[in-house]
Amino acid sequence: MNKEYIDRLYLTICQLHNCDCKHVESVSVHEVFRGQTVWQGRVEVFDLRGHPKAKRAYAWSHLDGPNDEGERIVTVLEIPPVESPVTAVRASILSDSKKRKK
């Protein structure tokens, strides 16, 4: 990933979670449900400093909006049951699903 992208994720994590962080690695995730790909991409892993509950955060972005003209940055803290990039993606999918049902 390019530095500009990592910097956008870094700033979002710092602002949303009121702490500092450091990029650790990029992890490829391919989530399949009933034989269909429901999410595929790279999750950026950040170690947190100064957060009261979490030591790590996971972040990624995707196109958003009616015509995919915007960018949505997703951040998920490593708080059980989230314990890895895969479980962070699953938690995000579940959260988005619940929001759509409301």
Residue 1 reports pLDDT greater than 70: no
Split at pLDDT 50, 70, 90, the class of 102 is low
The tens digit of pLDDT for each residue in 24-47 reads: 999 999 999 899 999 999 999 999
* pLDDT value of position 46: 98
Question: Tens digits of per-residue pLDDT, 45-88?
Answer: 999 999 999 999 999 998 777 777 788 999 999 999 999 999 99
CA 44-21-95 angle, to 5 degrees, is 55
Q: What does the domain layout of the chain look like in residue ranges?
A: 3-101
Q: Is 26 exposed, middle or buried (0-12, 13-18, 19+ CB in 10 A)?
A: middle
